[in-house]
């Protein structure tokens, strides 16, 4: 279970995305891009044209987190554009099996996200379609929120289900992940860590990524 760090550009300067990506190049495994449509979540960020521009601007693989109402329609386009990973929400996808397969068919890793109140158990049969399970550790929509400890038992249960199915699936946590909370996430079984504020509010984002990785690897 190799630790991976995925800095979220939600906390970066949106007017200088290429430079902000460059600040974590060489240390970040992924660049986490939060696509929000103001319907699935009460916030609006960026869409496909900006993701396409980012793909041209950085060599870091893009980890696309779609917080949108109609992911079945849009997810394959992000994969076709070249995103390395595309994640759709369980609460929004109407045809998750078809959509997860379309993401894989377009050459990306298929991601499936659950909000804090969404149970993992009902999705166990979908695990073979999933390359990365994302457990939200805040209610989605904004960066800089407080980590929800109440999700940790679900991380533990998700890790057990993943092991039962062969252990190949990555387990990502997103929301409030910081030097104060990352060790608990790792101990519960997470291996991919999204960090927005903890990286981009830091004076030295590259150093922040390295520090988070060291804590998660303990
Ligand atoms: C929140 C987003 C997160 C956000 C995390 O809905 O999905 O990716 O950027 O930011 P922090 O790490 O500041 O909680
Ligand atoms: Zn996210």
Number of domains in the chain: 1
Please spell the DSSP secondary structure of 49-80, one letter per residue. Answer: HHHHHHHHH-SSPEEEEEE-S-HHHHHHHHHH
CA distances from 213 to 3, 15, 53, 188 (A): 7, 27, 28, 16
**How far is Cα 99 from Cα 105, in angstroms, rounded to an integer?**
10
Cα 50 to ligand 1 centre (Å)? 18
Q: How confident is the model at residue 26 (pLDDT cuts 50, 70, 90)?
A: very high
Residue 172 belongs to what H/E stretch?
Answer: strand 170-174
Cα 2 to ligand 1 centre (Å)? 21
Taking 90 as the threshold, does the pLDDT of residue 1 lie above it?
A: no
Q: How confident is the model at residue 176 (pLDDT cuts 50, 70, 90)?
A: very high
Length of the chain: 218
Task: Indicate if 211 belongs to the active site.
Answer: no
**97: Cβ–Cβ under 8 A, 6 or more apart, which residues?**
126, 129
Q: Ligand 1: which residues within 6 Å by Cβ?
A: 8, 10-11, 32, 34, 65, 138, 140-145, 174-177, 194-198
Determine what percent of the chain is predicted with pLDDT higher than 70: 100
**How far is Cα 144 from Cα 110, in angstroms, rounded to an integer?**
26
**What ipTM was estimated for this complex?**
0.99
Residue whose CA lies nearest to ligand 1 atom number 4: 143
Q: How confident is the model at residue 85 (pLDDT cuts 50, 70, 90)?
A: very high
Task: Indicate if 34 belongs to the active site.
Answer: yes
**How far is Cα 199 from Cα 177, in angstroms, rounded to an integer?**
10
| 47 has binding-site annotation | no
Taking 90 as the threshold, does the pLDDT of residue 94 lie above it?
A: yes
Report whether 208 contacts 28 (CB < 8 A).
no
| 37 has binding-site annotation | no
pLDDT at 218 (0 to 100): 82
Q: What are phi and psi of 125, to 5 degrees?
A: -65, -15
Residue 179 belongs to what H/E stretch?
Answer: none
Residue 77 belongs to domain with CATH number: 3.20.20.70
- Among 43, 12, 62, which residue's Cα sits nearest to residue 140? 43
Q: Which residue range is the domain that position 144 belongs to?
A: 4-217
Question: Which ligand 1 atom is nearest residue 196's CA?
Answer: 12
Among residues 29, 34, 37, 131, which one is catalytic? 34
Tell me the best of 34, 86, 113 to mutate to test the pocket of ligand 1, counting ligand atoms within 8 Å of each CB and taking the most: 34
pLDDT at 189 (0 to 100): 98
Q: How confident is the model at residue 167 (pLDDT cuts 50, 70, 90)?
A: confident
Tokens representing 34 are 């939060």
Among residues 29, 63, 174, 191, which one is catalytic? 174
């Amino acid at each position: 279970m190799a630790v991976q760090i995925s800095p979220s550009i939600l906390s970066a300067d949106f007017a200088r995305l290429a430079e902000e990506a460059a600040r974590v190049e060489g240390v970040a495994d992924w660049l986490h891009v939060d696509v929000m449509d103001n319907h699935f979540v009460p916030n609006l960020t960026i869409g496909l044209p900006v993701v396409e521009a980012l793909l041209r601007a950085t060599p870091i693989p893009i980890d696309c987190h779609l917080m949108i109402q109609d992911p079945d329609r849009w997810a394959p386009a992000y994969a076709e554009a070249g995103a390395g990973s595309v994640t759709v929400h369980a609460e929004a996808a109407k045809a998750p099996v078809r959509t997860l397969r379309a993401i894989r068919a377009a050459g990306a890793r298929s991601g499936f996200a659950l909000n804090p109140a969404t149970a993992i158990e009902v999705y166990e049969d979908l695990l073979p379609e999933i390359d990365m399970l994302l457990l939200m550790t805040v209610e989605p929509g904004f960066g800089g929120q407080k980590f929800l400890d109440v999700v940790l038992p679900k991380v533990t249960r998700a890790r057990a289900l993943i092991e039962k199915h062969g252990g190949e699936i990555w387990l990502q946590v997103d929301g409030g992940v910081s030097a104060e909370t990352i060790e608990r996430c790792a101990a519960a079984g997470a291996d991919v860590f999204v960090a927005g504020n903890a990286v981009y509010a830091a004076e030295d984002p590259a150093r922040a990524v390295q520090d988070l990785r060291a804590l998660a690897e303990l």
